[in-house]
Amino acid sequence: MFIFFALSGFLITYLAVREYAFSGRIDMAAFIRRRVVRLVPALAVFLIVWMVVSAAFTGHVWLTTVPQGGPGQVMGLGTVLEAAAAALTYVMNWAVIFNWFSGYVPIGHIWSLAIEMQFYLIWVSILAVIFRYGRHAALRLAVAGSLLASADVILLTHLGLGGLRVYMGTDTRAGTLLAGSAAALFWSHSKRELKDSKILPPLALVSVGVILWSGYALQKSQLSVGGQMAWPLTALACATTIIYLVERPDTLLGRIATGRVIKYLGKRSYALYLWHYVWLTWFRSLGFPGIAAGLIMSLITAELSWRLVEEPASKWRQAGRKGSRQANLSDKGVGKAQRAGMPRLQMELGR
């Protein structure tokens, strides 16, 4: 989850940086439309199928059997509707934390999607304002916010509010998202310096070691020194690793991260994320063959979602964006600057 959130923070911030560099502003309405077109169609199809299956097999415990093991529970239609509402309004993480549901919800894995959407709306809105004061102001804010979020993890843990509150909280997970954002802000303005940097490879190696270590440390008590330090250190390590991968794609690690298999799965990762948990839930009672069947069905539904839902929505969005861009070229001169490769990034965010 740390890598996932750091990468998300990096990508969404870099997109915001690029938009501001070329247009001098961030169009929040257009940003929200892009997020809706990218995320909602696949989520809506997933929820419709899940609700139909849940309604058709009401009373069957295999609908809610936990993939990691453990008995299922009978799930009423009211709980199904509550879960769908929480998913579509992107508050699943807080609904799970505060137990807003009338029964067990077997699609709680959407909590991370809720955090992402909440972060996107808040952070990009802040960037739209703070970019007026320069890139360094945004970078300082991202670093400070990441540190405060890490301190929040420690505070909540010592107050006895660990567990789901720390694991699924938007405020606690913001530390890694903002670390990725800080990486994007730093990298977008320091490409020349990083190109020949000799310290970046050893830093990346140490970062990979920290990420591997965190898998052990996070299994320990949250009150332990390792359990508390794992949050900020892993966030920093993920951000450093991402910078290394985007700056050195020709290295062994870079080639692995950009290989055909990774690219294929990357395009379908959102659908895989949506579908894998319910398939593993539904087939859990079959044992190991059920796990294999769940993974196969996850790949099949992800492919169908990509081809029939996500790719058509993406093409529709790109067609609309192209038309809008052409309409604005004469007004703002953006097209000329882009064609000439003029580094407006330095001009707009160089302070």
In this predicted model, what pLDDT tens digit does every residue of 65-118 receive, in sequence order? 777 656 677 788 899 999 999 999 999 999 999 989 988 888 989 999 999 999
Instruction: Name the DSSP class of 63.
Output: G
243 lies in some domain:
yes
107 lies in some domain:
yes
85 lies in some domain:
yes
116 lies in some domain:
yes
Q: What is the pLDDT of residue 111?
A: 96
**Which carries the bigger pLDDT value, residue 309 or residue 287?**
309
Residue 290 has pLDDT above 80, yes or no: yes
Tokens 């945004």, located at residue = 138
118 lies in some domain:
yes
CA gap 83, 65 in Å, rounded: 16
What is the full DSSP assignment across 68-126? Answer: TS-------HHHHHHHHHHHHTT-HHHHHHTT-SSS--TTGGGHHHHHHHHHHHHHHHH
232 lies in some domain:
yes
Average pLDDT value over all residues in the chain: 85
- Which of 73, 68, 72, 96 has the alpha carbon at shortest distance from 83? 96
**Which carries the bigger pLDDT value, residue 288 or residue 172?**
172
Is 73:342 a contact under the CB 8 Å cutoff? no
pLDDT band at 64 (very low <50, low <70, confident <90, very high): confident
Q: What is the pLDDT of residue 223?
A: 66
275 lies in some domain:
no
User: pTM to 2 decimals?
Assistant: 0.85
Q: What is the pLDDT of residue 249?
A: 79
Low-confidence winner among 14-28, 144-158, 248-262, 315-329 (lowest mean pLDDT): 315-329
Q: What is the pLDDT of residue 340?
A: 38
Per-residue CA distances from 204 to 186, 196, 209, 232 (Å): 15, 14, 9, 16
Which residues, 6 or more positions from 155, have their beta carbon under 8 angstroms from its beta carbon? none
- Which of 128, 111, 112 has the alpha carbon at shortest distance from 8? 112
Mean pLDDT, residues 171-175 taken together: 95
Please state the separation of Cα 45 from the chain's center in Å. Answer: 20
pLDDT band at 257 (very low <50, low <70, confident <90, very high): confident
Count of structural domains within the chain: 1
Give the long-range contacts of residues 24-29, CB within 8 A, separation 24 or more: 24/332, 24/348, 25/128, 26/124, 26/127, 26/128, 26/131, 28/124, 28/125, 28/128
pLDDT tens digits along 209-227: 999 888 888 777 666 767 7
34 lies in some domain:
yes
Low-confidence winner among 78-92, 251-265, 295-309 (lowest mean pLDDT): 251-265
Residues of the domain holding 107: 2-255+324-349
Q: What is the pLDDT of residue 188?
A: 84
Q: What is the pLDDT of residue 350?
A: 37
Burial of 176 (0-12, 13-18, 19+ CB in 10 A): buried
> Which SS3 state, helix, strand or coil, does residue 66 take?
coil
